[in-house]
Amino acid sequence: MDGTWALNLFDRLHIGHHVLIDHLSELPNPVACVTDGPLMGHDLDLAELIQPLEIRVRRLRDYLKKQRLDGSIEVRVASGLDELLDAEGDITFLMYEGPCCTEVKSGFLDARREALGANDRYEFLKPVRANDGDKVASARIRRGEIDRSGNRLLGTDQPPRRLPTDNREVLKSPKGEVFEKRDGPPEERVARKLREEMPSKVISVGDVTTHSLLQQDFTPDVMIVDGITKRGPFEGVFNAAREYLVYNPAAAIFPETWSTIATALSQTESALITVDGEEDLMGFPAVLLAPLGSAVLYGQPDVGIVWIPVTEDNKQIADELLQAMPVIK
């Protein structure tokens, strides 16, 4: 049976992937094939930061379901050429030009013709352009150059870092003023202090903390959430004038996170940053990037809300802790 296979990493599912899926949906017997292993290509920029295969597949399936295409587009995974050689019928292999799928473009059609008598072809899509005129690509998102919609970000020179397991406990101790639950609803006192002191910028980290402030009719300048609480998924919905999605796993800080927070802080409108992963270390870039006189707020489970004033001393402490985190090579 003839068909169409779209080959892609599907890392940081972005506007270019949306265009690819839209085109694929109009072609016969469409298959969205997530490439992995040797088919990922060689010398990819920040390859260590590519989302794990299971996340890429899950996000792709979620998008197809949202677009009501899950019943018409099949999702497959291919880690080697053998898996593609087994595809029956004449296949149109749909892809973007780039470092990915280089093995597929090197004598692959000849091998399928010899093995199966297939009469395949390639179809290369025109690249989707970001608003800076350059191509939209997952590598650019990993570097923090653009967001998933192709909008230019401020960028960053921060390398990706990961916190060793044996050092994670130190981050749980509050480094600012603690508004404890035992003294009454902490969000009421925090909101009152925010209105009195009017910090330069207010950054809330965590779903419960952010939600509790919104319930007090106070909207932080930058809200960082991940949809997870100590007790499980957070069911609330957040909205802001500017919204971003970043991939940042637990105990790590990636360049796209630095760049997105910096961009959000540079704007006058409220910004929502949803973390695909965990926001456990987001206080570091928040303190280091926010202007002096700002406030970073995060929740301490079963205790209350921690208020970190952005001062020169706290910036120095945050930077020292940051520099102790190993760089991901």
What is the per-residue pLDDT for 80? 82
Contact between 282 and 251 under an 8 Å Cβ cutoff? The reply is no
What is the per-residue pLDDT for 242? 95
Shortest CA distance to 111 belongs to which of 124, 125, 93, 123?
Answer: 93
- The CA dihedral of 297, 301, 303, 306, to the nearest 10 degrees, is -10
CB atoms within 10 A of CB 123: 12
In angstroms, rounded to a whole number, what is the distance separating the alpha carbons of residues 37 and 189?
A: 52
Q: β-strands 30-35, 74-78: how paired?
A: parallel
Strand-pair partners of 248: 277
Which runs of consecutive H residues, i.e. helices, occur in the chain? 15-25, 53-66, 81-85, 108-116, 138-143, 186-197, 207-215, 255-265, 283-289, 312-323
What amino acid occupies position 68?
A: R
**Locate tokens 């091998």: which residue?**
111
Q: Which residues of 276-314 are buried (b: 16+ CB within 10 A; e: fewer)?
A: bbebbbbbbbbbbbbeeebbbbbbbeeebbbbbbbeeeb
> How many Cα neighbours within 13 Å face the side chain of 215?
13
Contact between 14 and 102 under an 8 Å Cβ cutoff? The reply is no
Q: Whole-model pTM?
A: 0.92
- Taken in order of first residue, the domains within the chain and their CATH numbers are 3-143 (3.40.50.620), 161-323 (no CATH)
Cβ-based burial of 61 (10 A; exposed 0-12, middle 13-18, buried ≥19): middle
Per-residue pLDDT of the chain (329 residues; tens, 9 = 90+): 689 999 999 999 999 999 999 999 999 999 999 999 888 877 788 999 999 999 999 999 999 999 999 999 999 999 888 888 778 889 999 999 876 666 677 777 888 888 888 898 989 999 999 999 999 999 999 999 999 999 999 999 999 999 876 655 555 444 789 999 988 899 999 999 999 999 999 999 999 999 999 999 999 999 999 987 776 778 778 899 999 999 999 999 999 999 999 999 999 999 999 999 988 899 999 999 999 999 999 998 889 999 999 999 999 999 988 998 999 98
Q: Which residues of 165-192 are buried (b: 16+ CB within 10 A; e: fewer)?
A: eeeeeeeeeebbeebeeeeeebbebbbe
Strand-pair partners of 122: 93
Sequential DSSP letters for 109-171: HHHHHHHH----EEEEEPPPBPTTSSBP-HHHHHHTSB-TTS-B-----PPPEE--GGGGGGG
Contact between 147 and 244 under an 8 Å Cβ cutoff? The reply is yes
